[in-house]
Structure 1
Amino acid sequence: MGGRRTIPQLKGAMAALFAAVAIGLVSCAGASEPASTPTPAAAAVNTPTQAVEKAVPPMKSEDFWEIIERSRSASKGDVEQQAMALEEILSKLSFEQIAAFHDEFARKNQQLYTCDLWGAAYVLHGGCSDDCFEYLRSWAVAQGQDYFEAVADDPLVLGDSLLASVGDSDSGEWMQYAAADAYASASDGRSLDNDYPHILSTIAMDEPQGEPWDEEDLDQRFPDLEPLN
């Protein structure tokens, strides 16, 4: 027959309840706490196996031209061979230096994006598309600092014997891929564009600098140039 519980009985019941709750809490805590695992924050930063948006570091102009000259010396004037030599040189640099070189190469290319130079290239090649002009600019950069600066100052320099000796400048396209290929090789397949999404490109998106021209006006604009072929 049930009766009213005494205070000692209540205290005993409450103690048992608290003990049960405590055991449950310990059990729950143990079940919800997984084994320690690395978190993304603990991963190494700026390694070639991790996609991290990085700012493109600058490269001094003299360092850029020194690398170009080394690749030229190794190729004996063959731009396709020069691109291969350039890739080999760049692959020995840090990831940041490879990105810096590519950015500076694209910057030099874009400096030649002018109406006058495009017009001269159009006359010499008997026509020159966007791609043709992009490759020609890269070809001019590949010739080294002196030639680059001469062409930038006077587009008529394109009509000298250097361009005539190679026939066309499409081989300049190979130079555009050297840094990206070197980066992929040195970083076990990473993409230069993905790791440095703000890196410059040789593809010009704006209008060229200078006074535009029409095809029929080019003879008067460049009377001293003749087609190479």
Structure 2
Amino acid sequence: MDKEREDWFWGIIDTVANKSGRAAKSRNLYKALRLKTAPELIDFMTEYNNYLAKAYRFDLWRAADLIDGELSDDSFWYFRDWLISTGRSYYEAVLADPDRLVESLDWADAEGHSFESFGYVAGKIYEKRFGALTAAEETKIYDELSDVHQYGQPAGGTHEDSFDLRFPKLEAGFEARMNKLEVPGQVNLLRFNLN
């Protein structure tokens, strides 16, 4: 990835990442992108999809499973949308150590760690202003992501191997949170999965 384009991309994301609430983040991302040129929007979407692909890893998927339940392919995609929306610093920290997701347990909202609509903002702006993407533009934007999703498995072993992974801080933080929220008769799935 081009360092200048990376910094440009994360500069936009970091500006909106500090906004609280999904609606505010989406609205501010829209404002940040609405006047960009067609090539700039294509560059943004390309970078976005590169970061989705970079986070397509079994260890991260397993950690996300621990905090949001067993995630489907689509749900894990929306989790990665959420992760990008948190900004560069947290995104990179979680990729370096998925156990850092424990930090998000207190500030995730009722929708959990999912933010599907965030990933659509740039594409909707492009379509509204410039029409449908050409085949060449689609290839540029989705090439790396397609290779990862359609032709390969997530990085880091197999899905079965990921069940052996342990995230001590995340597991302890989630268990403590569940203990605070105990509802009579409700099964604590974390304890069930870990024992």
- TM-score interval w.r.t. the shorter chain? 0.7 to 0.9
What is the CA-CA distance between 1:222 and the residue it aligns to? 3.1
Q: Which residue, out of 137, 157, 169, partners 2:113?
A: 169
Distance 1:185 1:138, change over 3 A: same
Distance 1:92 1:151 in 2: 31
Instruction: Work out which of the two has the higher radius of gyration on C-alpha atoms and give 1 or 2.
Output: 1
Matched, 1:192 2:133: yes
1:34 is matched with: none
RMSD: 2.7
**C-alpha contact 1:59 1:100 (8 A) present in aligned 2:** no
The share of aligned pairs that are identical, in percent, is 26
Distance 1:79 1:99, change over 3 A: same
Choose 148-157 or 62-71, whichever is displaced more.
Answer: 62-71
Distance 1:82 1:141 in 2: 11
Matched, 1:98 2:41: yes
Alignment of 1:1-229 (within 5 A): 60-73=5-18, 76-160=19-103, 162-167=104-109, 168-170=112-114, 172-187=115-130, 190-192=131-133, 194=135, 196-198=137-139, 199-200=141-142, 204-205=149-150, 206-214=152-160, 217-218=163-164, 221-224=166-169, 225=171, 226=174
**TM-score of the two chains, using structure 2 as the length reference:** 0.74
Distance 1:183 1:166, change over 3 A: same
What is the CA-CA distance between 1:216 and the residue it aligns to? 9.4
Q: Which runs of 5+ in 2 are unaligned?
A: 179-195
Q: Which runs of 5+ in 1 are unaligned?
A: 1-56
What is the CA-CA distance between 1:186 and the residue it aligns to? 2.0
Amino acid at match of 1:64: F
What is the CA-CA distance between 1:136 and the residue it aligns to? 0.9
Distance 2:87 2:162 in 1: 33
Amino acid at match of 1:169: H
Number of positions where the alignment pairs a residue of Structure 1 with one of Structure 2: 166
**TM-score of the two chains, using structure 1 as the length reference:** 0.64
3-state SS, counterpart of residue 56 of structure 2: coil
